Chains A and B, each alone.
Chain A
Amino acid sequence: MILETRGLTRHFGGLKAVEQVDFDLETNEVHALIGPNGAGKTTFVGLLCGRIAPDAGTITFMGRDITRLPAHSRVGLGIAYTFQITSIYAALTVFDNVAIAVQRRGSRHLDTDTRAALARVGLDNEADLVAGALSYGHQRLLEIAMGLALDPRLLILDEPTQGLADSEIEEFKALVRALGHSTTVLLIEHNMDVVMDLADRITVLNSGEKLATGTPAEIRADPTVQTAYLGE
């Protein structure tokens, strides 16, 4: 178990964005988080990576209580987050974008390691371009490359395939498979093909509450999930 939450809760005014969620993440699994729009998925991962403070409940990462730890310190422990809305340094070069991540993990060979991290997502030829000039698909890849370059223990991907073309989605799936279960991946995803293809386990959120957790086959067969989400 790499991460677990107990009774994790966050309300915005009267809205119960995340309500009493108990959640377990196995080491090195690919875990997908699904649910209808407004189910609280982004708020939930925001709580995990420290962008949002919880109202109640605890978060434990590798046996350590991180509930009150600031976001930047959680990155130091190995939790990386990639944004739902592409959030790169548009005015800096592709190289610098990734170098900022690489140097955070204390790399002694910044140049080599940065180019290797770019090669992983196939952006090594674009290293000297200004990141804002990349195509949308390449910007999404760069966003993921920055997360991977941190060499995280847990990589949280918030809708990584949103707006990508089919061929780019295939490339993304190959990228996650290439991690070969050497890193735990938590994935928010709307594209059911991607979820069913990649995920070892799936958790369904609905109205801030956890509806079910299980293998893709179990989730497909779950009647409550079908009513709430898959059947619509």
Chain B
Amino acid sequence: MTGAGGKALALHLGVIGLLLALHFILPPYHHTNLARVMVLAVFAMGYNITFGYTGMLSLGHALFFASGLYATGLLIQHGAWSAGPGLVAGVLAGGAMALAVGLLALRTTGVAFMIVTLMFAQAGYLAILYFGSWTRGDEGFVLDRAARAIGPFDLSDDATRYLVALALFSVALLVNLRLARSPSGRVLVAIRENEERTRMLGYDPWRHRLGALALSGLYCGAAGAAYGLLFGYVGATFASIQYSILPLLYVLLGGAGTVLGPFLGTLLMFYLIDLSSAVTDAHLMVVGVALLALVLFAPRGLLGALRARFLPWLP
């Protein structure tokens, strides 16, 4: 067990080390892309905690991302908060929103849970449009460069942005790794695999699902808040259905229920869209074909397939 645990820790620290090395060698275009991918990967990791580990298919995670994004953005823009406390507020807003939605939505499971979470997210999206005088609706608003600094760190600076994104990503990844190997993580997987059995081993599935959803909300809130601060834009698109589907695709592609899967999926999907839209306007068709191939040949995602065949120790 310690052997597998050591290997897993080494692998994940290695990925973080590699991303740090890339900071010094990537050309500016890919450097910015990778910073964006790391923040979106935190969003996907959050999604993976509910979907991949606990087995709840949510179609409403854009709401938790947007909660972080807007809590931070609005407090800075209209409340004259500084970036540091704004970021903390964004993380907490994501968690609180997930907790509130969970208290109501977790009365349902399966398809009904999908629909209920989708409806909550749409209500959030429409609320952002409705309060247009504050949020400027679809158009959104840009955060001042001056407001995007934590202490001496100017988050709009390219190098700082990359390193802050990497720091957030590293914390999220290592917490996720810890969770996956912990007794609590084992209970979440047990609920996914066989709810009734888990109840009869003395666990309250509802309470563990709510906990998983709240943790997932913290991840998504952190990603949303960081996205706003690092890239300086807050807009309603991030609350739309598209941003509920994207993390699902990232996780499916990389491997649901794996720690590195969300990052791998985000990276591949990001560049798949990026490269294919350089070649054709119909870049969504390329994405569609990639997903079809995935469902046909690796339904458990890339790392899921790799784990099943070659690396049983992969967390």
Q: Interface on A for B, CB 8 Å cutoff?
A: 49, 51, 70-73, 75-76, 80-81, 83, 87-92, 96, 99-101, 103-104, 110-111, 146, 150
Contact = CB atoms under 8 A, between A and B. Distances in A.
B193 A92 contact: yes
Contacts of B274: none
Nearest to A156: B200
Main secondary structure of the interface of A (DSSP, over half): helix
B193 to A, nearest CB: 5
Interface in B181-232: 183, 186-187, 189-190, 193-194, 196-204
B190 to A, nearest CB: 5
A70 B197 CA distance: 14
B146 interface: no
Given A72-B200, A89-B190, 10 more contacts: A51-B200, A72-B202, A76-B202, A87-B197, A90-B193, A96-B189, A103-B186, A104-B201, A104-B203, A110-B183
Contacts, number: 57
A71 B197 contact: no
Interface of B: 1, 183, 186-187, 189-190, 193-194, 196-204
B183 A72 contact: no
B204 A70 contact: yes
A71 B1 contact: no
A156 to B, nearest CB: 10
Nearest to B196: A87
Given A83-B197, A87-B194, A111-B1, A100 B204 contact: no
Contact of A81 (B186, B190, B200): B200
Contacts of A75: 200-202
Contact of A71 (B183, B193, B199): B199
A170 B202 CA distance: 29
A70 B1 CA distance: 35
A100 B193 CA distance: 12
